[in-house]
């Protein structure tokens, strides 16, 4: 009979294989596409990533599963072909939906351009939520199959897997709301706040959708799509919200929206590191950071993966100055 320690080894091997396996599905509006997904960029390769890159690489904070130490976070040099990619669109729909912003620079006065940046962040986050839920459920199911846990008795792992399934479902509903509006030509489904961060030079890019768990709207939490888009000489941040969330999200974000200059760039940086994980950093900027500053940023990012740190303040979290 297989011992418990042998079963645990099998579970670790399964978990490692699951977390390193691909997960793809085209999430184009309508939900009926069965085409093979590709590695689509959530931050445009031509334009923002090219501006940020040095020798064909950018810097990203990446998470890896180590069977001995658990999840680890580190800064890594990533080739521009792999930076910010997600397998949530097929080639046909990636072009059909986002060719306009992939081939043209950001226009902050163009409603379609702003909508498409927000929409892509929503698609990417929906794909991430579905992937995490599927993989956690696979690992939990393996625990049950190996009789390491009783499927009839609630466990922390089982509850966490269930929570992520709920998050994936709610995020999918949010996406479908925007899908329907997009199909009807209603780009006003998203409202936007555009922040000109000044002459920062190309330093950071972000494409993210995050929940404001502290802000309840109806029977859900408010969500914000955040894009940080470098342009020649400077950077813009675009925060996007559906109508239901707009007023509550803006109220919560008042400190960021009302600030100016360096203070605003610091508050936005802190928000990015606490709430987002799809972050691209210029190697030129990263090279200027001391080892102490790198560790402050890395540790804050790692700590806030599972919980927010409302009271932690450190000017070294500023990603733009």
> Across-strand partners of 85?
41
At residue 7, the pLDDT reads 82
Q: C-alpha distances in angstroms, 8 versus 2, 5, 88, 141, 145? A: 10, 5, 32, 13, 12
Mean pLDDT of 81-106: 95
32 φ, ψ (degrees, to nearest 5):
-110, 0
Q: How far apart are CA 24 and CA 17, in angstroms?
A: 16
Q: DSSP state, 88?
A: E
Average pLDDT, the chain: 93
Instruction: Determine contact, residues 4/143, Cβ cutoff 8 Å.
Output: no
Q: How far apart are CA 42 and CA 117, in angstroms?
A: 9
Model confidence at 224: pLDDT above 70: yes
At residue 33, the pLDDT reads 96
Percentage of the chain beyond pLDDT 70 is 98
| Total-model pTM | 0.93
CA of residue 105 relative to chain centroid, distance: 22
Nearest to 199 by CA among 288, 320, 284: 320
Is 10 or 33 the better-scoring residue by pLDDT?
33
Nearest to 198 by CA among 237, 239, 238, 234: 234
110 φ, ψ (degrees, to nearest 5):
-110, 115
> Across-strand partners of 192?
240
Percent helix, strand, coil in the chain (nearest 5)? 50, 25, 25
At residue 65, the pLDDT reads 63
For 200-220, the pLDDT digits (tens) are: 999 999 999 999 999 999 889
Q: How far apart are CA 202 and CA 32, in angstroms?
A: 38
């Amino acid at each position: 009979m297989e011992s418990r320690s042998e079963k645990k080894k099998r579970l670790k091997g399964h978990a490692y294989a699951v977390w390193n396996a691909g997960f793809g599905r085209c999430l184009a509006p309508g939900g009926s596409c069965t085409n093979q997904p590709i590695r689509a960029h959530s931050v445009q390769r031509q334009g923002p990533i090219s501006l940020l890159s040095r020798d064909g690489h950018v810097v990203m904070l990446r998470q890896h599963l180590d069977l001995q130490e658990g999840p680890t976070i580190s800064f890594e040099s990533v080739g521009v072909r792999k930076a910010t990619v997600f397998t949530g669109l097929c080639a046909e729909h990636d072009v059909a939906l986002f060719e306009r912003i992939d081939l043209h620079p950001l226009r902050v006065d163009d409603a379609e351009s702003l909508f498409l940046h927000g929409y892509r962040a929503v698609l990417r986050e929906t794909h991430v939520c579905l992937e995490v839920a599927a993989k956690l459920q696979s690992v939990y199911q393996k625990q049950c199959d190996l009789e390491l846990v009783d499927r009839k008795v609630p466990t922390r792992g089982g509850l966490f897997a269930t929570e992520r399934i709920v998050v994936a479902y709610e995020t999918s509903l949010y996406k479908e709301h925007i899908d329907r509006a997009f199909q009807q030509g209603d780009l006003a489904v998203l409202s936007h706040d555009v922040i000109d961060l000044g002459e920062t030079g190309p330093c950071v890019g972000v494409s993210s959708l995050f929940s404001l768990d502290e802000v309840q709207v109806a029977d859900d939490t408010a969500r914000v799509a955040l894009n940080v888009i470098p342009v020649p000489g400077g950077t813009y941040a675009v925060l996007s919200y559906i109508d239901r969330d707009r007023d509550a999200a803006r109220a919560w974000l008042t400190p960021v929206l009302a600030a100016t200059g360096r203070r605003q760039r610091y508050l936005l940086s802190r928000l990015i590191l606490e709430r987002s994980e799809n972050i691209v950093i210029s190697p030129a900027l990263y090279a200027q950071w001391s080892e102490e500053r790198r560790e402050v940023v890395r540790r804050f990012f790692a700590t806030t993966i599972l919980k927010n740190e409302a009271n932690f303040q450190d000017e070294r979290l500023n990603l733009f100055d």
